[in-house]
Amino acid sequence: MHIDILTVLPELLESPLQHSIMKRAQEKGLLTVEVHPLRKWAVNEYGQVDDYQYGGGAGMVMMCEPLAKAIEELSKEKSYDEIIYLTPDGERLNQKTANALSLKENLLLICGHYKGIDERIRQHFITKEMSIGDYVLSGGELPAAILVDAIGRLLPGVLNDETSALTDSFQDNLLAPPVYTRPEDFRGWKVPEILLSGDHKKIEEWRQEQSLQRTKEKRPDILKGDE
């Protein structure tokens, strides 16, 4: 998979993409992520990519020309399955969407900043708008990093245990069950006996029951969504 990211602050994306699972995914050649500074397509020698909004109001707006030129130039190099704009008023990211996007080959992520991007770019270039939650951040860089991580870890071969991602929370519309590791007894707090039994069928049944119970307690809205 190849993911291009267009941003006015590429420095914000350096650390999240160069460590842990995302680093291994790129080293294995399973994922390629390229970060492109929008100022490369600035409208003048001062690196301008934003301007005041028509009609007045606080906050600058990312201009049409730099974004259009960048998207068109990058689109000549590869055909994008989706051009995604990270914005608070977009579709909320969930596991189902991450699963679907992990099946794509080429994605272009547009990081909003300031007051956002000119609406004409949204109308004529953007194919999907994504949000990571009902709150506002300083820009789309952190949401882009989250989206890349959510997608990248699902690619075959990225995780050492191929079944790991399939047992994550939300994959089956349930939260993941409790997990334990050594020691069996810590300060008198003991691991449930069923997990030490070696009976894999009963362990799986217990985990399923725990997932359902945990979802009912913590996220009943997920279960209501399935009704």
CATH number at residue 16: 3.40.1280.10
Instruction: Answer yes or no: do 96 and 206 share one domain.
Output: no
Question: CA separation (Å) from 166 to 72, 112, 173?
Answer: 36, 31, 11
**Domain shared by 116 and 175, yes or no:** no
CATH of the domain at 199: 1.10.1270.20
Residue 213 included in any domain: yes
Global pTM reads 0.88
Number of domains making up the chain: 2
Indicate if the alpha-carbon torsion angle 184, 185, 191, 193 is positive or negative: positive
Q: Give the Cα separation of 119 and 20 in Å (integer).
A: 36
109 with 183, same domain? no
Q: Give the DSSP H or E segment for 210.
A: helix 200-218
Structural domain span for residue 7:
2-152
In a structure prediction context, what are the per-residue pLDDT tens digits for the chain, which is 227 residues long? 999 999 999 999 998 999 999 999 999 999 999 999 999 999 999 999 999 999 999 999 999 999 999 999 999 999 999 999 999 999 999 999 999 999 999 999 999 999 999 999 999 999 999 999 999 999 999 999 999 999 999 999 998 765 566 556 566 788 989 999 999 999 999 999 999 999 999 999 999 999 999 999 999 998 886 54
Same domain, 99 and 203: no
